[in-house]
Structure 1
Amino acid sequence: MELFSRNVAALWIILLEFLLETAADEEVLMNTKTETSDLKWTTNSHSKPEWEEISGLDEENNSVRTYQICQADGSSSHWLRSKLIERQEASQVYVELLFTMIECSSRITHHRSCKETFNLYYYQSDTDDATATHPAWMENPYTKVDTVAADFLLRKGGEKKFNVKTLRLGPLTKLGFYLAFQAQGACMALLSVRVFLKKCPALTCSLSVFPETVPRSLVQEAVGQCVANAEQPGPNPRPPKMFCGEDGQWVDQPTTTCTCLPGFEASHGELECRACPVGHFKMRSGPGPCSVCPDSSHTGETGSASCVCRPGFYRAPADSPDTPCTRPPSSPRSPVPQVNDTSLTLEWSEPLDSGGRSDLTYSVECRMCPAPGGPCAPCGDGVNYQPSQTGIQGRRVSIWGLRPHTTYSFTVMALNGVSPLSQQGPAGETINITTSPNIPVLVSGLRKITATESSLTLHWNTPTQSHYRILQYQLRYCEKERGSEENSCHYMESNINEVVLSDLRRATQYEVQVRARTLAGYGSFGQAVIFRTLPDEDDSSSPLLVTGILIAMGMLLLIIVIAAAIYCIRKQSHFKDAETSDKNGQYLMGHGVKVYIDPFTYEDPNEAVREFAKEIDVSCVKIEEVIGAGEFGEVCRGRLRIPGKKENYVAIKTLKGGYTDKQRRDFLSEASIMGQFQHPNIIHLEGIITASCPVMILTEFMENGALDSFLRLNDGQFTPIQLVGMLRGIASGMKYLSEMSYVHRDLAARNILVNSNLVCKVSDFGLSRFLQENSSDPTYTSSLGGKIPIRWTAPEAIAFRKFTSASDVWSYGIVMWEVMSFGERPYWDMSNQDVINAIEQDYRLPPPPDCPTHLHQLMLDCWQKERTARPRFSNIVSALDKLIRNPASLKITAQEGAGPSHPLLDQRSPLTPASCGTVADWLRAIKMERYEESFLQAGYTSMQLLAHITTEDLLRLGITLAGHQKKILSSIEALGIQNQTPGNVLY
C-alpha cells in the first residue's frame, strides 16, 4: 500500500511539472501601474469636461496615475488615446482594464443620457504619427474592440469595488497600435491599463525540446529538436513539431520520432536520455530500457551500446551483440575405433563442456605414419569420409581408402561457432590404429552382352566391398581348344566394367577372367567363364528372354492385384467415415454437434464479434509500416503493448474509409471466425479495434510472409525433409480445422504464412462468405460464375458448390505440389477453363523435379475424383510423420520434369535451341531471367557457348544457389546443345 501511495505521489508530481511547463507565459507591452511620471495621453480637448490625469490609488492602495471623467451630458463624445504600443510580432494582444464607475442614480446631476459603459478602440500604425487631430476622433478609422460595461457600480454609502476586464485585440498587422477610450455620459476612473501578449513557454516532452513560441496566427507551428543523446532514426528524419495556440497553450502532443541513442534510455517521463549504468547496455536506438549484460560479458563505463566478452569468451560473427558470450568446447571423450581391414569406423562421446552453445560440430584429422616411430604426414585425397571429414553433426564417422598394414593417427576435434576465434585452437582427442594387410579385390558377375563372329561384348559387376577406388580392370582371354598355351592368351585393360573383345576366331570358345587394380596393386583373377563367338548352336538368350518376360508379366499382375485391394479397403474405410455436409458446407462430427459456430447465424453478427474477439484499446497499438493491401484496406506491421504483457509485433488489417455496414460486418466476420481457433499451425488472433477509426484486426506477425513468395525467393534452398516439415505443419492445422467442422475453401500457398522458424500457419478465413460475389481476379473467377480459386478447388466444389473437408484435402494436394516445386504456379499458364477440362479428363499434375515418389503418390490420393476416396487430414498427418521418421524414403524420387504430360497441354512448345533463339529467351523460359546480365557480361552471347558450362562457371557468374545451379545445368543438358565453335568455349 505504501508503494502504491509513493507511485501515485510521483505521478502527481510529474503531472504538476507538465502543467507548470505548459502554462502560458505573458510578455507585458505596456502597464500604466509601473509608470512613475505623467502618462500624457492625448484627448479631444475641444469640449469640457474632458479626461483628466490625476494620481489615485489602485486596489492595493498603491499610488498610480489614472484618468477620470464625469460627464453631466452624454450628447458629446470624449476621447482618450494612449501612446504608440509596439506589438512585438504578435498577431493579437490582450488588454486588462482596471476601472471604477459611478451608478447613474447616485449622481447629483442625473441626466437621462447618463451611461454606465464606455467604448474601447484601437488604431494600427507603422510609425508614431498620431496628433491631436490625426487620426480623426471617430469610429472610422479606429477599430472598435467592445463596449465595456461595469460589473460593480459605486453608489453613495456602498462598498468600493473595482472592475477588471480583459479584452483581446487583433488581428494586428502593423508595427504598433494606439488604444482609444470613448466616454459618452459615463462618470468613471480608469485606474490602470495593462497590455500583454501570450506565448507558449519552452517545453521538454517526448524526448524533444521546443523553444518559447509567440503565436502569430490561430495555431503557430513550433519546430523543436531532440534532447541530448537522442536522435531521429531513418534516412530523412523530420524535426519534432508542436503547435502553439493563440491563448499561449501548447496544443495536443508533439509529432516526434526522437528516440534515445544506443547506450541511453529514456528517464523522468521521457524528459531526458540517461546513460546506461555500468554493467548494462542498450544496443539499438529506440524505446525500451537498458538491459543487464549477457552472461560472460561486462561493461566498464556508462552509456555502452554493447557488452565486451570476458577473457576466454567470444561471440561468433553471426551472433547478435545481445547474446551471451561463449567459449570453445572441450575435447570429445572416449573415441572408439573399429578397424575392418582398410576401413575404420570412429565413434566418440560428446564433450563435457559444449561452451554454452548449441552449434557443436566435429572434425576428423587424419595423418599417415608409414614407418613405426617415423614422421606422420596428412593422409591426402585418397581417404574418404562418411558423412564428411568436417562439419560432422553426429558422433560417428566411417573412413575408407586406407592403405593396408599402415599406421594412422586420427584426431577427433570438437568445434562450435567461436572455435575459430580462440587462440588455442580446437580441442581434440587422438588415437592411433594400424590397418590389416591387403585383401585382394575379387571381380564377379562376368557375363556376355552381345556376340558376333569376331567379337564379344562383356560386362561384369563393380566390386561393392572394396576399400579402395578401382583404378583399372584387366582381362585375360584364352582360346579354349588350344589349352593354356602362352601364345593363345591375350590381355586387355579397361577403365570401366565393360569391354569389347575383337579380332576373335569364328565359332570359337574363349575362357575369360577379370581382375581389378587398386592403390594396393592388382588383385587375383576371378573365376574363369567360357564364351563362344557366332555362330552359336547353343545360344540360350531366347529362353532367358522368354523367362524374363514371363517374370515381368507376373510381377505386373501382382502389383495390379495389390493396388486394387488397397483401393477397395481405402474406399470402404472412407465411406464409413465420410462427412455429412450441412447447408453451409460444414460437416457434422460424431453425434452431429458442430464445434465451429458460423458468425452469420447470429441475429446480430456484432454479437459474434464481441463473443469471439477481444477488444483492444487503440493506445496499445503503434503502426510502423504498410506491408501490403487486403480486400478491405491496408495491411500493416506494428507493435502491440498491453499493460502487464511483453510487447510483440503484430500484423494489422485496416478497414478503409467510406465502408458500408455490410462491409464492416464482413470485415469483422474473419475475426469472429479466427477467434474460435487455438492451434500452433493456425494464425492467432490478438484482438480487434472497433471503438475508433480505422477499424482494425490484429493477428500475430509472420516474418517471412506468404509461403508461395517465400519459396520462390528461396528456390532450391530447402531439403526435402524441411519441405515435408512445412507440409506437416499445414496438414496439422487443417486437421484441427476439420475436427472443428470448419471448411476453409481457399487453401493455397498464398494463404499460408511462414514465421522466422519456418513454422507454417493457415490464414485467410474470409473467402467462405463471399462465394457468390463477382470478382475480376482471374485466380478466383470461373466461367460458371462465383468466386472460386479454380486451380486449387476440387471438381465437385467447382461444379456444384459442394465444399467439404474432402474438398479442402484436394486443395491441400495442390499446396503440396506448390511447396515441392518451390512456388511454381499450378497448371502453369493454362486458362481456368483448360484446367477444368483437363481435370474432367482425369489429368493430374506430374511430380515436380526431385519430388519424392511417396509425396507425389500422396498428392494423387488427395486428387481422387470421388471425394470419399480421398484421405482425411488425420491420415495425411500420419503419412507425413512416417516419412519424417524414415528420411531415407524421401530419396526415392519420382520421374523428373515439372512440365505437363497430357495431350491437353501440348500447346506448351518444347524447350529447344531453336525455340530459345537467344540466351535471354532461354533464361526467361526457365524463369532464371535474373541472371541474364551476368551471362552476357561473361561473354555467353549465344546458345552454343553454353555447351560445356560447369558448376564452377556458374559460381563465377554469382549463381550460388544450389537449386538454381541444378535447374540451369539440367536445362542445358535437356537442350542437347552442340558446340559448333570449339575455339570459342569459355572455361
Structure 2
Amino acid sequence: MELFSRNVAALWIILLEFLLRSVAEEEVLMNTKTETSDLKWTTYSRSKPEWEEISGLDEENNSVRTYQICQADGSSSHWLRSKLIERRGASQVYVELLFTMIECSSRSTHHRSCKETFNLYYYQSDTDDATATHPAWMENPYTKVDTVAADFLLRKGGEKKFNVKTLRLGPLTKRGFYLAFQAQGACMALLSVRVFFKKCPALTRSLSVFLETVPRSLVQEAVGQCVANAAQPGPNPRPPKMFCGEDGQWVDQPTTTCTCLPGFEASHGELECRACPVGHFKMGSGPGPCSLCPDSSHTGEMGSASCACRPGFYRAPTDSPDTPCTRPPSSPRSPVPQVNDTSLTLEWSEPLDSGGRSDLTYSVECRMCSAPRGPCMPCVDGVNYRPSQTGIQGRRVSIWGLRPHTTYSFTVMALNGVSPLSLQGPAGETINITTIESVNCSKVTATESSLTLHWNTPTQSHYRILQYQLRYCEKERGSEENSCHFMESNINEVVLSDLRRATQYEVQVRARTLGGYGSFGQAVVFRTLPDEDDSSSPLLVTGILIAMGMLLLIIVIAAAIYCIRKQSHFKDPEMSDKNGQYLMGQGVKVYIDPFTYEDPNEAVREFAKEIDVSCVKIEEVIGAGEFGEVCRGRLRIPGKKENYVAIKTLKGGYTDKQRRDFLSEASIMGQFQHPNIIHLEGIITASCPVMILTEFMENGALDSFLRLNDGQFTPIQLVGMLRGIASGMKYLSEMSYVHRDLAARNILVNSNLVCKVSDFGLSRFLQENSSDPTYTSSLGGKIPIRWTAPEAIAFRKFTSASDVWSYGIVMWEVMSFGERPYWDMSNQDVINAIEQDYRLPPPPDCPTHLHQLMLDCWQKERTARPRFSNIVSALDKLIRNPASLKITAQEGAGPSHPLLDQRSPLTPTSCGTVGDWLRAIKMERYEESFLQAGYTSMQLLAHITTEDLLRLGITLAGHQKKILSSIEALGIQNKTPGNVLY
C-alpha cells in the first residue's frame, strides 16, 4: 500500500511539473488598466483634434483611463507617446492593445481619407529624456512595429465589439523604450495598453535544476545545475543545458549527465535523488535504483554506498561491493596417502562447506618428525611438489624428495578468496606418513650363469614387509631398456639364473609395505664366473661381421627415404579442399579461431601483447563502440617512438562473456600482419578499464570520408583505394579467414589515403546498430542485407566467395562517394530484387571495366565469382593502363528496375523551396549559404555559375558539379518580375 501511494504521488508531481512547463510565465512592464490616476502621456498634432485622455469602460465594464481621437481629415498625423517603460533585461517584449474603431461609412463626416487603421512605433533610450519636441515626431528616429487594423468596427445600431491585438517589439538593447501611436484619419478609442515579456519558468528535469530564464533571442541557452545529491561524472563535466524559446516555453529535453551519487536513487520522475533506505545500497553513480544488501551483509543507515559484512563473513579485495559476503571453507575430507619409494601421492575429497565461493584452492604443509609421535619441524628445501605446494586447483598432489625411513606430517588445507581475512586461519586435515627404509645386498654366491643374493631385513617395526623387488642390469650395457630385469621375492634371498658368463651385474633391492614401495638401496656390482676358453671363441668375429652388415643396410635405407622426402618438398604448396577453396601448404600461417580454445583468455595471451597502462595517455573521446568508448591517445613504449593509437575501452559493469567477446577481436587482429589490415598494438587487461589499442587512422571510416570529399578524387585514386582493400582481403582469404561484414563503414583510412580492413569483432557475432536496419534470417542472427551474398542470407553460407560479393558492394560505395547501396529500399525489397537478377547500376562517371568487375562479384553462383587474387590482378591492370578508366558507363546511379521506380523526378514544383531542393540532392549543408546570399526561390537559381558557388563557399569540384547538373536537370527558367509567384 505504501509503494502504491508513493507511485501515485510521483505521478502527480510529474503531471504538475509538465503543466508548469507548458505554461510560459509573463512579467508585466506596464498595464494601463491598473493605473488609478491620469496617464499624462504626451500628445502631438499640428491640427485639432488631439488625442484626449478620458475615463471609459473596458470589455468587462471596468472603469479605465483611455485615449480617444476622431479625425475628420486624414491628411495630418496625430501622435500619442507613453512614458519611458523599463525593459528589465528583456530583449523581446509584447504589446497587447485593447481598442475600438468606428467604421468610416458610419461617420457623419465621412471623407475619402478616412482610415480604419493606426500605426504603432517605439523609441529606445538609456535615459528618460523625451520632451514635447524630442524625439522628433516622425517615423525616423522611431521604429515602426506595425500598421494595426481593426477586426471589428463599430457602426450605428450595431453591437459593440472590442479589438485585441498583440504585437512583438525587439530586439531591445537600451535601458527602456517609449511607445508611440500615430492616427491618420481614424476614429478610435485606445482602451488599454499592456506591455509584457515572456520567460521560461524554473524547471527541474532529468535531475537538473534550471532557474527562471528570460529569452534574449529566438532560442536562449540556459545553464543549470544538478539537484541535491547528484553530480556529473568525469574530470571536466559540462553543466546541464536547456533552451528557452522566445515564447517562454522550454524547448526539448535538457542536455545533462547528472546522476545520483552513490547511496542515492532517482525518484519522483527524476526530480530528486532520494537516499537508499536501511538495508539497501547503491554502489556507484548512475541511473540505477537502490538494491537490497547482498547475502550475509547489512547496513544500518540510509544513503549507504555499500553493505558491511556480518561477523564471520568477508569480502575478498577483488570482490566488488555488490557481491555477497562469504566465509572460509571447511577442512578437506578423507585424505588418502600412497607412498612409493621416497615419494607420496595425496588425494582428498572437497570440503562440505565451500564458504559460498567458487575460487576454492588447496595448499599442503609438510613437517618432518623425529619419530611417529615425536616433535616435528618444517620440511627441508629438497621436498618438491607437483603441481605446486600452494594454490592447488585439483584435489591431488604428488610429493617427492622425502628421506627414507622418516616420519612426515602433512596437513591439507582448503582456502578461498577470504581465507586470509579470517583470524582463525585456514582449516586443514592432517595425516602422518613414514617412508620405507632402503635395503642393500650384502652377500653373494656366483657361478658362470647365476648369482645367489642375500640382504638384511629392514629394522623398521611400524610396517610389515610384504615383498621385495630386485632390479639387476648388465653394467657394460648401461641403462638400456632390455639390459635390466626385475624379480620379486617374499624372503630376503633370491637366485638369479640364466646370466651371461664373465659379466658384471649392477643389483638394487627395495621393500614393499602397506604404504607402498620404498626406495631402491645402494647399487652393488657382482660378476659371474668366466669359462676356460673365453678369448678364442670364433663366434665373436661372426657377431662383428653381422653387426657391420646390419649397419650398412640401415644407411642405404635412410638415404633412400631422404631423397623421396626432398623431392616431395618442392611440389605445389597449394591444395584444394572439398569446397573448392585453396589452402596454403607448409610455411603459411593459417587463422586460428580464438573460440576454439577451451579457455579464450589463452588465445588473448597468445596473439595479443600486454601493454603497461603507464605507456598510454588518452587524449579525447572520438566515438562510441559496441562495448564502450573509442578514444584517441598516445602510446609511448620505452625505446620506441611515440605514436598515436586508437583505444577501444570496455565500459564498467561488464560480464565475463562481454569481456571475452570484447577481447576476441584482439585475438583475431593479433594474428594478422598486412599493410592493408588494421594493426593491433596491444591490449591492457591488468587494470581498468580493459583496452584494445590499434594504429590510429586519421581520416576515419571510408564511407563518411568519401561523403565528406564527394568528387575530390580521380578514378585512378579511387581504384588505388579499392586495390588496397582487395589486397587485404586476399591476405585474409589465404589465411582461411572469412570477414562476413565487409562494408565501407568497416574500412579505415589514414592520412596517406591507405585503406585498411577493420572491425573483426562482428565477424563472428553478426550485428548492426539500430540506424541501419537488418534482416533476421530464419536460422537466427542479424545480417547486413545490403552487403551480404544471397546464399549467406538464405543459408548462412559464409565463405570467401560471400566476402567477394560484399567487396563488389564496397566498390559501388567507393565509386559513388559513399552513396547508400540500394538507396531507400527496404531490406525485403533488396532481397526480392536480387532474386529477380537485379544488380546495382554504375555510379555517375564510373569506368565500364570497374562496373563489369562489380557484376562479376555479384554472380549468383558463388563458384563463378572471382577470387581476391583475381581482383587484385584486374585492378593492377587498370592502374597500369589509366586510359581504360576513361571509358565510362552511360547509365547514372539510380533505380533502373520496376521494384525501384518509387521516387518521382525532381521538378521546380516538387521542390517547393531551395532547402527542399538541396535536401533532395543531399547538399543540405549549404542551405544557409544560399539563403544568406539571397537565393530564396527556385527561379533565382536559373543563371547561377561556378563563380557564384565559389562566393557561397562551395569549393569542392564534385559538389559544384552536382549542384549545377541538378539545376540544369530541373530546367528552371528565369521569370520576369511580373511573373514571379509569391
TM range (shorter): 0.5 to 0.7
Q: Is the 8 A contact 1:634 1:653 kept in 2?
A: yes
- Do the aligned partners of residues 500 and 272 (structure 1) sit closer, same or farther apart at CA in structure 2, a change above 3 Å counting? farther
Deviations for 1:507-564, whole angstroms, at most 9, x for unmatched residues?
Answer: 9999999999999999999999999999999999999999999999999999999999
- Do the aligned partners of residues 942 and 454 (structure 1) sit closer, same or farther apart at CA in structure 2, a change above 3 Å counting? farther
Compute the displacement of 1:374 (Å): 3.3
Task: With the length of structure 2 as denominator, give the TM-score of the two structures.
Answer: 0.52
Deviations for 1:717-769, whole angstroms, at most 9, x for unmatched residues?
Answer: 99999999999999999999999999559999999999999999999589999
- Do the aligned partners of residues 481 and 132 (structure 1) sit closer, same or farther apart at CA in structure 2, a change above 3 Å counting? closer
Compute the displacement of 1:150 (Å): 0.8
Q: After alignment, is 733-742 or 269-278 more displaced?
A: 733-742
- Do the aligned partners of residues 893 and 226 (structure 1) sit closer, same or farther apart at CA in structure 2, a change above 3 Å counting? same
Q: After alignment, is 170-179 or 783-792 more displaced?
A: 783-792
Compute the displacement of 1:281 (Å): 1.6
- Do the aligned partners of residues 657 and 851 (structure 1) sit closer, same or farther apart at CA in structure 2, a change above 3 Å counting? same
Deviations for 1:308-366, whole angstroms, at most 9, x for unmatched residues?
Answer: 11111111111111111111000001111223343322111100011111111111112
Q: Is the 8 A contact 1:587 1:805 kept in 2?
A: no
- Do the aligned partners of residues 485 and 46 (structure 1) sit closer, same or farther apart at CA in structure 2, a change above 3 Å counting? closer
Q: Tell me the secondary structure at the aligned position of residue 90 of structure 1.
A: coil
- Do the aligned partners of residues 647 and 316 (structure 1) sit closer, same or farther apart at CA in structure 2, a change above 3 Å counting? farther
Deviations for 1:918-956, whole angstroms, at most 9, x for unmatched residues?
Answer: 999999999999999999999999999999999999999
Of the three residues 835, 857, 867, the one matched with 1:862 is 857
- Do the aligned partners of residues 740 and 263 (structure 1) sit closer, same or farther apart at CA in structure 2, a change above 3 Å counting? same
1:766 aligns with 2:788: no
- Do the aligned partners of residues 702 and 59 (structure 1) sit closer, same or farther apart at CA in structure 2, a change above 3 Å counting? same
Q: Which residue of 1 aligns with 2:838?
A: 843
- Do the aligned partners of residues 223 and 559 (structure 1) sit closer, same or farther apart at CA in structure 2, a change above 3 Å counting? farther
Q: Tell me the secondary structure at the aligned position of residue 905 of structure 1.
A: coil
Deviations for 1:213-238, whole angstroms, at most 9, x for unmatched residues?
Answer: 11122222211111111111111111
- Do the aligned partners of residues 148 and 461 (structure 1) sit closer, same or farther apart at CA in structure 2, a change above 3 Å counting? farther
Q: Is the 8 A contact 1:782 1:832 kept in 2?
A: no
- Do the aligned partners of residues 786 and 510 (structure 1) sit closer, same or farther apart at CA in structure 2, a change above 3 Å counting? closer
1:387 aligns with 2:393: no
Deviations for 1:841-865, whole angstroms, at most 9, x for unmatched residues?
Answer: 9999999999999999999999999
Q: Is the 8 A contact 1:22 1:201 kept in 2?
A: no
Q: How far, CA to CA, are the matches of 2:145 and 2:160 in structure 1? A: 27
Of the three residues 734, 747, 756, the one matched with 2:729 is 734
Q: How far, CA to CA, are the matches of 2:711 and 2:316 in structure 1? A: 27
- Do the aligned partners of residues 436 and 203 (structure 1) sit closer, same or farther apart at CA in structure 2, a change above 3 Å counting? same
- Do the aligned partners of residues 874 and 430 (structure 1) sit closer, same or farther apart at CA in structure 2, a change above 3 Å counting? farther
Compute the displacement of 1:420 (Å): 0.3
Q: After alignment, is 842-851 or 578-587 more displaced?
A: 842-851
Q: How far, CA to CA, are the matches of 2:931 and 2:247 in structure 1? A: 69
Q: Is the 8 A contact 1:402 1:468 kept in 2?
A: no
Q: Is the 8 A contact 2:341 2:518 kept in 1?
A: no
Compute the displacement of 1:49 (Å): 1.2
Q: Is the 8 A contact 1:315 1:418 kept in 2?
A: yes
Q: How far, CA to CA, are the matches of 2:969 and 2:529 in structure 1? A: 39
- Do the aligned partners of residues 884 and 48 (structure 1) sit closer, same or farther apart at CA in structure 2, a change above 3 Å counting? closer
Of the three residues 528, 548, 551, the one matched with 1:553 is 548
Q: How far, CA to CA, are the matches of 2:35 and 2:904 in structure 1? A: 101
Q: Which residue of 2 aligns with 1:597?
A: 592
Deviations for 1:105-157, whole angstroms, at most 9, x for unmatched residues?
Answer: 12222222211111111111111111111112111111111111111111122
Compute the displacement of 1:241 (Å): 1.4
Deviations for 1:623-659, whole angstroms, at most 9, x for unmatched residues?
Answer: 9996789999997999999999999999999999999
Q: Tell me the secondary structure at the aligned position of residue 767 of structure 1.
A: coil
Deviations for 1:32-63, whole angstroms, at most 9, x for unmatched residues?
Answer: 01111000001115521111111111111111
- Do the aligned partners of residues 674 and 180 (structure 1) sit closer, same or farther apart at CA in structure 2, a change above 3 Å counting? farther
Of the three residues 625, 639, 649, the one matched with 2:634 is 639
Q: Tell me the secondary structure at the aligned position of residue 776 of structure 2.
A: coil
Compute the displacement of 1:167 (Å): 0.4
Compute the displacement of 1:92 (Å): 1.6
Q: After alignment, is 136-145 or 534-543 more displaced?
A: 534-543
Deviations for 1:870-917, whole angstroms, at most 9, x for unmatched residues?
Answer: 999999999999999999999999999999999999999999999999
Of the three residues 471, 483, 507, the one matched with 1:476 is 471
Deviations for 1:402-449, whole angstroms, at most 9, x for unmatched residues?
Answer: 23333222111100110000111100111222222234xxxxxxxx99
- Do the aligned partners of residues 175 and 983 (structure 1) sit closer, same or farther apart at CA in structure 2, a change above 3 Å counting? closer
- Do the aligned partners of residues 928 and 220 (structure 1) sit closer, same or farther apart at CA in structure 2, a change above 3 Å counting? closer
Q: How far, CA to CA, are the matches of 2:718 and 2:95 in structure 1? A: 79
Compute the displacement of 1:791 (Å): 29
- Do the aligned partners of residues 802 and 480 (structure 1) sit closer, same or farther apart at CA in structure 2, a change above 3 Å counting? closer
Q: After alignment, is 899-908 or 485-494 more displaced?
A: 899-908
Q: Is the 8 A contact 1:240 1:255 kept in 2?
A: yes
Q: How far, CA to CA, are the matches of 2:486 and 2:593 in structure 1? A: 84
Q: How far, CA to CA, are the matches of 1:500 and 1:909 in structure 2? A: 110
- Do the aligned partners of residues 74 and 267 (structure 1) sit closer, same or farther apart at CA in structure 2, a change above 3 Å counting? same
Deviations for 1:58-77, whole angstroms, at most 9, x for unmatched residues?
Answer: 11111111111111222221
Q: After alignment, is 112-121 or 502-511 more displaced?
A: 502-511
Q: Is the 8 A contact 2:437 2:458 kept in 1?
A: no
Q: Which residue of 2 aligns with 1:445?
A: none
Q: After alignment, is 392-401 or 700-709 more displaced?
A: 700-709
Q: Is the 8 A contact 2:438 2:519 kept in 1?
A: no
Unmatched runs of 5 consecutive residues or more in structure 1: 440-447
Q: Is the 8 A contact 1:207 1:271 kept in 2?
A: yes
- Do the aligned partners of residues 580 and 214 (structure 1) sit closer, same or farther apart at CA in structure 2, a change above 3 Å counting? same
Q: Which residue of 2 aligns with 1:243?
A: 243
Q: After alignment, is 813-822 or 568-577 more displaced?
A: 813-822
Q: Is the 8 A contact 2:368 2:379 kept in 1?
A: yes
Compute the displacement of 1:481 (Å): 19
- Do the aligned partners of residues 233 and 10 (structure 1) sit closer, same or farther apart at CA in structure 2, a change above 3 Å counting? closer
Deviations for 1:475-514, whole angstroms, at most 9, x for unmatched residues?
Answer: 9999999999999999999999999999999999999999
Q: Tell me the secondary structure at the aligned position of residue 329 of structure 2.
A: coil
Equivalenced residue count is 979
- Do the aligned partners of residues 568 and 266 (structure 1) sit closer, same or farther apart at CA in structure 2, a change above 3 Å counting? farther
Q: How far, CA to CA, are the matches of 2:602 and 2:869 in structure 1? A: 33
Task: With the length of structure 1 as denominator, give the TM-score of the two structures.
Answer: 0.52
Compute the displacement of 1:170 (Å): 0.9
Compute the displacement of 1:710 (Å): 28
Q: Which residue of 1 aligns with 2:697?
A: 702
Q: Is the 8 A contact 1:366 1:410 kept in 2?
A: yes
Q: State, as a whole percentage, how many aligned pairs show the same letter.
A: 96
Q: Tell me the secondary structure at the aligned position of residue 731 of structure 1.
A: helix
Q: Is the 8 A contact 1:594 1:741 kept in 2?
A: no
Q: Is the 8 A contact 2:10 2:268 kept in 1?
A: no
Q: Is the 8 A contact 2:454 2:494 kept in 1?
A: yes
Of the three residues 791, 795, 808, the one matched with 2:790 is 795
1:756 aligns with 2:751: yes
Compute the displacement of 1:19 (Å): 3.8
Q: Is the 8 A contact 1:122 1:180 kept in 2?
A: yes
Query: How do residues 406-485 of structure 1 correspond to structure 2 at under 5 angstroms?
Result: 406-439=406-439
Q: Tell me the secondary structure at the aligned position of residue 514 of structure 1.
A: strand
Q: How far, CA to CA, are the matches of 2:754 and 2:398 in structure 1? A: 34
Compute the displacement of 1:398 (Å): 1.9
Q: How far, CA to CA, are the matches of 2:910 and 2:343 in structure 1? A: 52
Q: Tell me the secondary structure at the aligned position of residue 334 of structure 2.
A: strand
Compute the displacement of 1:93 (Å): 0.8
Q: How far, CA to CA, are the matches of 2:543 and 2:913 in structure 1? A: 48
Q: Tell me the secondary structure at the aligned position of residue 189 of structure 2.
A: strand
Q: How far, CA to CA, are the matches of 1:541 and 1:969 in structure 2? A: 116
Q: Is the 8 A contact 1:571 1:869 kept in 2?
A: no
- Do the aligned partners of residues 392 and 974 (structure 1) sit closer, same or farther apart at CA in structure 2, a change above 3 Å counting? farther
Q: Which residue of 1 aligns with 2:145?
A: 145
- Do the aligned partners of residues 44 and 462 (structure 1) sit closer, same or farther apart at CA in structure 2, a change above 3 Å counting? farther
Q: Is the 8 A contact 1:461 1:497 kept in 2?
A: yes
Q: After alignment, is 906-915 or 231-240 more displaced?
A: 906-915
